[in-house]
C-alpha cells in the first residue's frame, strides 16, 4: 500500500543494466542517467568481511586500476548478467535515488529491465530480485533485442521481419522480430569487453608492453575500426614494457587494431550468419531487402556496418543514438503497458 | 552532360537561392551522384540496397519504408556521393519510435483520467484526510475504552474467547486481550487495532522453539483457563482475538528453502535460506508477502490455520500474500 503511494511520486523507469554502462530512461523525461556499471567498494578494517560503497558510476570507473589496497573497484555485471548480486542491488539503488533526487518520499518506481535473450531463469530472477531490493515496486523483464528494436524505431508490429544486432559490453545479441515477438534470437558472449581484451593481448604480444583496460578502451574508441579503410589513423600509447619493467610509449595504427580484433569480430559475424540461416524464408526475404539494424555501443565501432554488409550481403544500418536504444525502447514499452496492459508484449 | 546540369544547379544557388525552392532530398542526392558520375547500380551494389529502392528515394517516394531504413539508406548514399550526412538527414523526418501495437486496432487506448500532478494532489489530499481521521479516532477516549472493555469481556464472559488450554494442537496460542500474564508483543511489529492502545501487554509471541510448549496451561492467564474448554481450535482465530493479539505466520520446512517474509510495511521479517526441519515463526502487521524457493516442502500456517498457497505456486517457487483484507483479492 505504502509502496504504491510512494510509486505515485516516482517516475517509471526503463533500465538498460549493461555490463559496461547503465542507462535509465524516465517516462516523460528521456535518458536521465548514463553511467558506467562500476562500483568501488571499501573494505572494512582488520580483514573483516564488511564492505561499504566508496563510489558508484563515473566516479568509480575513474578508480578502476588505480585503487589502493582497501578499495576495490569492480563491475558487478559480467556477460550481461549479474555477477555480484549484492553490489548490483546497491548500484541500482544508488542510480534510482540519483534519478529521483532528494525527495521527501523514498522512490518506489515501476521498473523495466532489459536482459540478454540468452540469460537463464536464475539470472533473470537475480535481476528481478535485485531491482526489487533496490526499491522498485514492480519489475518487468524484457529481452534486450526487442527493446533495442523498439528504441531504434523498427516496425516491430508489422507482419514483416526486422533484424536487429545489439552489441553491448558483454554480449552481442541478434534477433529477428515480427508481430511484436521474437522469431529467432541468439546471444553470444562477445562484446566491447572482448574487443578491449583482444587489444590488450595484441599489444602485449607484439610490443611486449602491458597496457590497462582503460587505455585499451581509449584505443578502441580513437582508432578502432572493423573494416580496412583508405585512411590509416595513428595514436601514441603508453604502457609498461614487460622486459624492462619501465613505462614506454609507442605508436599504434588502425590497421593493427583491425588485426587485433579479428577474433571477436568473426564471432559476431558467425552469430549473424547463423541467425540468417535459421530465419524462415519469408522473413529472410524481408531482411534481405530492408537490412539489419545495429544498436548498442558496439555499433559505434568504425565501419562495423561495412564489415557486416560485406560479410552478409544485406544492408546494414546503424541506429540513431545506438547506445540508448534499449533504454528508450524500454521506456516506450512502459508507456504501452499503461495504455494497453502488460500483455501487449512478451514480458515477464 | 550530367556535370553541366549539376554546375548549373550549383551556379543557381548563390544567385537565386531566395527565389527558387531548395532542391528536395532525392534531387540533391541524384544531383550529387550525377556530378560524380556514379551509376546508381554501383551505389546499390555498395550499400546492398535494391536499385528500385534507391530510385524511389531519388524520386522522394518514401511512403513504403520505415523511417529508420530510409535514414540508413540515405546516410550511406550521402556518404558515397560526398554529401554531408547531417545536412541531408535534416531533410528527413526523424526516426521516431513506432506505435508498437497497430495490429490491435480494435482496442481503444486507455488514457489517464488525471495525468501528472492532478492525481498526485488528489492522493495527497486523501492521505491527509485519512491520517487526520486516524489520529482523531485514536484520541477519542470513548473508542479506546470501548475497545479495551470489549477485549476484557471477550476474555472472561464470551464463549468465543480463545482458551489456551483447550487447543493443544494449534501451532500458536494467543492469550485473551488484557490478561495479566500475556506475553509482550513483538517490538518491531505491534499488533494493529484497538488492543495496541491497551495499557497492559496483550499478546503472546513465543520463540519458534517454544511454540508448542506455550500451550501449557500453567503459563497461561487464569482468565483464559476459565473459558469453556470445549472450544474448537478454529475458534482461536476469531477476528477480535486476532486484532488483539497480532497476526502470526508459521512456516514449517521439510527441506531447506529460500524464504522471504515481508510485512505490510515492507520490513523483511525473514530473508534467508532456511534449513530443513526449521520452523519459522514471525509476527507482524499483515498482509505478509511471502516468497518460497522450495514451496512443495513448506507448510504455511497463518494465525493457526493451514494456508493453501498452491494457486500461487509456479514450479517450485511460490509468491503469495497472506492476511490481505478479504475485499482485496480473496486471499486470506
- A206 vs B62, more confident: A206
Which B residues 246-265 touch A at CB under 8 Å?
Answer: 264-265
Q: From the centroid of its chain, how far is CA B277? A: 32
What integer is the mean pLDDT of A180-191? 91
Does the pLDDT at position A272 exceed 90?
Answer: yes
Chain A with chain B: Cβ pairs closer than 8 A: 100
Grid cell in block for residue A262: 579479428
DSSP characters for B189-239?
Answer: SPPPSGGGG-SS-------GGGTTGGG-GGGS-HHHHTS-TT--GGGGG-H
Question: Rounded to an integer, what distance in angstroms lies between the CA atom of residue A243 and that of residue A120?
Answer: 44
Minimal Cβ distance to A150: which of B67, B76, B97: B97
Question: Rounded to an integer, what distance in angstroms lies between the CA atom of residue A103 and that of residue A290?
Answer: 47
- Non-local (6+) Cβ contacts of B150 within 8 A are B194, B240
What integer is the mean pLDDT of A282-286? 89
**Phi (first) and psi of residue A112, to 5 degrees:** -115, 125
Contact A344 B100 (CB under 8 A): yes
Half-sphere exposure of A107 (CA within 13 A, CB side): 23
What integer is the mean pLDDT of A15-42? 90
**Secondary structure E strands in B233-304:** 247-253, 257-262, 268-274, 279-284, 288-292, 298-302
Residue of B nearest to A137 (CA): B266
Q: From first to last of the 332 residues of chain B, give the pLDDT tens digit.
A: 333 344 333 334 444 444 566 778 888 889 899 998 899 999 998 888 888 888 988 888 888 788 888 888 888 899 888 888 778 887 776 555 544 444 333 233 333 334 444 556 677 777 788 887 877 766 644 433 333 333 333 333 333 333 333 333 333 333 333 333 333 334 443 443 433 333 343 333 434 433 333 333 333 333 333 333 333 333 333 444 444 456 888 888 888 888 888 888 888 888 888 888 888 888 888 888 888 888 888 889 888 888 888 888 887 888 888 887 765 444 44
Pairing assessment for the beta strands B317-322 and B279-284 based on DSSP bridges: unpaired
Nearest Cα neighbor of A109 from A193, A1, A14 is: A14
Surface-to-core class of residue A235, CB atoms within 10 Å of its CB (0-12 exposed, 13-18 middle, 19+ buried): middle
Nearest Cα neighbor of B163 from B101, B228, B218 is: B228
- Give pLDDT, residue A7: 54
Does the pLDDT at position A150 exceed 80?
Answer: yes
- Give pLDDT, residue A67: 82
Contacts 24+ apart (CB under 8 A), A160-163: A160/A283, A160/A286, A160/A290, A161/A279, A161/A282, A161/A283, A161/A284, A161/A285, A161/A286, A161/A287, A162/A286, A162/A287, A162/A290, A162/A293, A163/A275, A163/A279, A163/A287, A163/A291, A163/A292, A163/A293
- A321 vs B20, more confident: A321
Contact B101 A336 (CB under 8 A): yes
Contact A2 B49 (CB under 8 A): no
Contact B68 A180 (CB under 8 A): no
Minimal Cβ distance to B123: which of A3, A5, A293: A5
Which B residues 20-59 touch A at CB under 8 Å?
Answer: 47-50, 53
Give the minimum alpha-carbon distance from A150 to chain B in angstroms, rounded to a whole number.
6
Contact B100 A8 (CB under 8 A): no
Residue B140's CB is within 10 A of a number of other CB atoms, namely 10
Half-sphere exposure of B99 (CA within 13 A, CB side): 8
Between the alpha carbon of residue B57 and those of residues A225, B54, B73, B74, the distances in Å are 29, 5, 9, 8
Q: Is B270 on the interface with A (CB under 8 A)?
A: no
Half-sphere exposure of A130 (CA within 13 A, CB side): 28
Question: Rounded to an integer, what distance in angstroms lies between the CA atom of residue A174 and that of residue B243?
Answer: 56
Pairing assessment for the beta strands A209-210 and A234-241 based on DSSP bridges: antiparallel
Minimal Cβ distance to A329: which of B72, B75, B97: B97
What integer is the mean pLDDT of A161-176? 93
Between the alpha carbon of residue B233 and those of residues B160, B225, B283, the distances in Å are 11, 15, 19
Residues of chain B positioned with their CB less than 8 A from the CB of A104: none
Round to the nearest angstrom and report the end-to-end CA distance of chain A: 23
Average pLDDT, rounded, for chain A: 88
**Phi (first) and psi of residue A268, to 5 degrees:** -70, -40
Which B residues 71-90 touch A at CB under 8 Å?
Answer: 71-73, 75-76
- Give pLDDT, residue A304: 94
Residues of chain B positioned with their CB less than 8 A from the CB of A158: 102
Determine which of A33-42, A227-236, A282-291, B301-310 has the lowest per-residue pLDDT on average. B301-310
Angle between helices B25-35 and B2-16 (to 10 degrees): 130
Contact A315 B73 (CB under 8 A): yes
Contact A8 B120 (CB under 8 A): yes
Residue of B nearest to A149 (CA): B97
Question: Rounded to an integer, what distance in angstroms lies between the CA atom of residue A183 and that of residue A176?
Answer: 5
What integer is the mean pLDDT of A78-103? 83
For an interface test with A, the pick among B51, B53, B56, B66 (most A C-beta atoms closer than 10 Å) comes out as: B66
Contact B112 A157 (CB under 8 A): no
- Give pLDDT, residue B128: 81
Does the pLDDT at position A42 exceed 60?
Answer: yes
Contact A180 B50 (CB under 8 A): no
Question: Rounded to an integer, what distance in angstroms lies between the CA atom of residue A282 and that of residue B29?
Answer: 32
CB A111, CB A129: distance < 8 Å: no
- A269 vs B97, more confident: A269
Between the alpha carbon of residue A19 and those of residues A74, A116, B177, the distances in Å are 11, 11, 56
Minimal Cβ distance to A180: which of B53, B67, B100: B100
Q: Is B107 on the interface with A (CB under 8 A)?
A: yes
Contact A317 B99 (CB under 8 A): no
Radius of gyration over alpha carbons of chain B, in Å?
Answer: 37
Give the minimum alpha-carbon distance from A156 to chain B in angstroms, rounded to a whole number.
6
Query: Where residue A47 falls among pLDDT bands split at 50, 70, 90?
Result: low
Residue A97's CB is within 10 A of a number of other CB atoms, namely 15
Query: Reduced to 3 states, what is the DSSP secondary structure of residue B119?
Result: helix
Half-sphere exposure of B108 (CA within 13 A, CB side): 3
What integer is the mean pLDDT of A214-229? 92
DSSP characters for A33-71?
Answer: EEEES-EEEEEPGGG-S-EEEEEETHHHHHHTT---TTE
CB A291, CB B48: distance < 8 Å: yes
- Give pLDDT, residue B100: 46
- Give pLDDT, residue A131: 86
- Is there a cis peptide before residue A27, judged by omega within 30 degrees of 0? no
Residue B223's CB is within 10 A of a number of other CB atoms, namely 20
Does the pLDDT at position A237 exceed 90?
Answer: yes
Query: Where residue A46 falls among pLDDT bands split at 50, 70, 90?
Result: low
Grid cell in block for residue A346: 512478451
Q: Is B67 on the interface with A (CB under 8 A)?
A: yes
Half-sphere exposure of B184 (CA within 13 A, CB side): 3
Minimal Cβ distance to A290: which of B47, B69, B97: B69
Pairing assessment for the beta strands A110-115 and A138-143 based on DSSP bridges: parallel
Question: Rounded to an integer, what distance in angstroms lies between the CA atom of residue B125 and that of residue A154?
Answer: 43
Q: Is B113 on the interface with A (CB under 8 A)?
A: no
Q: What is the ipTM of this complex?
A: 0.79
| Chain A residues touching chain B at CB-CB below 8 Å | 1-3, 5, 8-9, 150-159, 179-180, 289-291, 293, 309, 313-320, 328-329, 332-333, 336, 338-340, 344-345
Contact A340 B101 (CB under 8 A): yes
Question: Rounded to an integer, what distance in angstroms lies between the CA atom of residue B178 and that of residue A193?
Answer: 66
Secondary structure of B31-48 as H, E, C letters: HHHHHCCCCHHHHHHHHC
Does the pLDDT at position A206 exceed 60?
Answer: yes
Look up cell 578491449; give the residue.
A196
Query: Where residue A106 falls among pLDDT bands split at 50, 70, 90?
Result: low
- The residues facing A234 across adjacent strands are A253
- Give pLDDT, residue A300: 94
Amino acid at each position: 500500500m505504502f509502496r504504491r503511494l510512494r510509486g505515485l511520486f516516482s517516475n517509471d523507469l526503463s533500465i538498460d543494466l549493461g555490463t559496461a554502462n547503465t542507462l535509465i530512461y524516465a517516462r516523460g523525461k528521456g535518458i536521465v542517467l548514463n553511467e558506467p556499471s562500476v562500483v568501488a567498494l571499501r573494505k572494512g578494517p582488520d580483514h573483516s568481511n564488511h564492505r561499504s560503497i566508496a563510489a558508484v558510476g563515473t566516479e568509480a570507473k575513474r578508480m578502476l586500476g588505480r585503487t589502493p589496497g582497501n578499495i576495490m573497484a569492480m563491475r558487478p555485471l559480467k556477460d550481461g548478467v549479474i555477477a555480484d548480486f549484492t553490489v548490483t542491488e546497491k548500484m541500482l539503488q544508488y542510480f534510482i535515488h540519483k534519478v529521483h533526487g532528494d525527495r521527501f518520499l523514498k522512490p518506489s518506481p515501476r521498473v523495466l529491465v532489459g536482459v540478454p535473450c540468452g540469460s537463464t531463469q536464475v539470472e533473470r530472477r537475480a535481476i528481478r530480485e535485485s531491482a526489487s531490493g533496490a526499491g522498485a515496486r514492480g519489475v518487468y523483464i524484457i529481452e534486450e533485442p526487442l527493446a533495442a528494436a523498439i528504441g531504434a524505431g523498427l516496425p516491430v508490429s508489422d507482419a514483416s521481419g526486422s533484424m536487429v544486432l545489439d552489441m553491448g559490453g558483454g554480449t552481442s545479441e541478434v534477433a529477428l522480430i515480427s508481430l511484436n515477438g521474437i522469431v529467432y534470437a541468439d546471444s553470444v558472449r562477445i562484446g566491447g569487453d572482448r574487443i578491449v581484451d583482444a587489444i590488450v593481448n595484441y599489444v602485449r604480444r607484439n610490443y611486449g608492453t602491458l597496457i590497462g583496460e582503460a587505455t585499451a578502451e581509449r584505443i578502441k574508441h580513437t582508432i578502432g575500426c572493423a573494416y580496412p579503410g583508405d585512411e590509416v589513423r595513428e595514436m601514441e600509447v603508453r604502457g609498461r614494457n614487460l622486459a624492462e619493467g619501465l613505462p614506454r610509449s609507442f605508436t599504434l595504427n588502425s590497421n593493427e587494431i583491425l588485426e587485433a580484433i579479428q577474433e571477436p569480430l568473426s564471432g559476431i559475424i558467425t552469430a549473424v550468419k547463423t541467425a540468417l540461416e535459421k530465419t524462415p524464408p519469408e522473413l529472410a526475404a524481408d531482411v534481405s531487402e530492408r537490412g539489419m539494424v545495429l544498436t548498442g555501443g558496439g555499433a559505434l565501432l568504425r565501419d562495423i556496418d561495412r564489415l557486416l554488409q560485406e560479410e552478409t550481403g544485406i544492408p546494414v544500418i546503424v541506429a540513431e543514438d545506438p547506445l540508448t536504444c534499449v533504454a528508450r525502447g524500454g521506456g516506450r514499452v512502459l508507456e504501452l503497458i499503461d495504455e494497453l496492459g502488460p500483455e501487449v508484449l512478451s514480458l515477464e | 552532360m550530367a556535370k553541366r546540369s549539376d554546375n548549373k544547379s550549383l551556379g543557381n544557388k548563390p544567385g537565386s537561392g531566395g527565389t527558387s525552392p531548395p532542391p528536395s532530398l532525392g534531387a540533391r542526392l541524384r544531383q550529387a551522384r550525377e556530378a560524380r558520375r556514379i551509376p546508381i547500380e554501383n551505389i546499390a551494389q555498395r550499400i546492398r540496397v535494391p536499385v528500385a529502392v534507391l530510385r524511389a528515394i531519388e524520386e522522394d517516394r518514401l511512403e513504403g519504408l520505415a523511417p529508420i531504413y530510409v535514414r540508413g539508406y540515405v546516410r550511406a548514399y550521402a556518404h558515397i556521393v560526398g554529401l554531408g550526412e547531417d545536412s541531408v538527414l535534416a531533410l528527413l523526418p526523424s526516426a521516431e519510435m513506432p506505435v508498437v501495437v497497430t495490429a490491435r486496432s480494435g482496442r481503444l487506448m486507455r488514457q489517464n483520467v488525471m495525468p501528472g500532478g492532478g492525481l498526485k494532489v488528489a492522493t495527497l489530499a486523501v492521505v491527509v484526510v485519512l491520517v487526520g481521521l486516524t489520529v482523531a479516532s485514536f484520541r477519542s477516549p470513548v473508542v479506546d475504552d470501548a475497545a479495551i472493555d470489549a477485549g476484557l469481556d471477550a476474555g472472561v464472559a464470551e464463549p468465543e474467547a480463545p482458551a489456551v488450554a483447550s487447543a493443544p494442537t494449534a501451532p500458536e496460542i494467543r492469550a485473551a486481550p488484557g490478561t495479566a500474564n500475556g506475553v509482550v508483543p513483538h517490538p518491531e511489529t505491534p499488533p494493529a487495532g484497538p488492543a495496541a492502545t491497551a495499557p497492559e501487554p496483550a499478546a503472546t509471541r513465543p520463540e519458534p522453539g517454544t511454540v508448542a510448549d506455550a500451550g501449557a496451561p500453567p503459563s497461561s492467564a487464569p482468565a483464559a483457563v476459565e473459558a469453556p474448554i470445549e472450544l474448537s481450535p478454529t475458534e482461536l482465530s476469531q477476528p477480535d482475538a486476532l486484532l488483539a493479539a497480532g497476526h502470526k505466520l508459521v512456516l514449517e520446512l521439510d527441506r531447506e528453502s529460500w524464504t522471504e517474509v515481508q510485512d505490510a510495511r515492507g520490513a523483511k521479517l525473514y530473508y534467508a535460506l532456511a534449513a530443513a526441519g526449521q520452523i519459522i515463526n514471525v509476527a507482524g502487521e499483515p498482509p505478509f508477502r511471502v516468497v518460497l524457493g522450495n514451496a512443495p516442502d513448506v507448510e504455511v500456517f497463518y494465525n493457526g490455520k493451514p494456508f493453501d498457497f498452491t494457486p500461487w505456486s509456479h514450479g517450485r517457487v511460490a509468491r503469495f500474500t497472506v492476511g490481505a483484507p478479504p475485499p482485496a483479492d480473496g486471499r486470506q
